């Protein structure tokens, strides 16, 4: 998945909700808040992520997207390997 596909995923398939949820679930400060606060804060984070993805797809020139593509692929690939490795270690202990 390249930069453009990732941005489209964020914009169109609930990707912003998944991304925000994944990030916020790992922050103890957020977890300590009330349910109502978490609901509104989550809405705000989802909105900001969506707006950033929209702004990038709309206003960032294609040449810049093309230039960052290798960096994005490298970092996203490492992210996947770390997550898969974590799942493997969890399953391997059982």
Start-to-end CA span in the chain (Å)? 32
- Which of 18 and 83 is assigned the larger pLDDT? 18
Count the helix, strand and coil residues of the chain and give each as a percent rounded to the nearest 5.
Answer: 85, 0, 15
Q: Tens digits of per-residue pLDDT, 16-56?
A: 999 999 999 999 999 999 999 999 999 999 999 999 999 99
Domain boundaries, the chain: 3-66
Q: Tens digits of per-residue pLDDT, 46-82?
A: 999 999 999 999 999 999 999 999 999 999 999 999 9
Question: Is 53 in contact with 16 (CB distance < 8 Å)?
Answer: yes
Does residue 13 surpass a pLDDT of 80?
A: no
Write out the DSSP string of 15-57.
HHHHHHHHHHTT-HHHHTS-HHHHHHHHHHHHHHHHHHHHHHH
Instruction: Give Cα 42 to chain centroid, integer Å.
Output: 13
């Amino acid at each position: 998945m390249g930069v453009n596909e990732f941005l489209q995923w964020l914009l169109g398939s609930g990707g912003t909700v998944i991304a925000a949820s994944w990030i916020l679930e790992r922050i103890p400060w957020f977890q300590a808040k009330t349910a109502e606060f978490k609901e509104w804060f989550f809405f705000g984070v989802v909105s900001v992520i969506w707006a950033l993805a929209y702004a990038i797809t709309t206003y960032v020139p294609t040449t810049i997207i093309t230039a960052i593509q290798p960096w994005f692929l490298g970092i996203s690939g490492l992210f996947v390997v770390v997550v898969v490795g974590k799942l493997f270690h969890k399953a391997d202990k059982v």
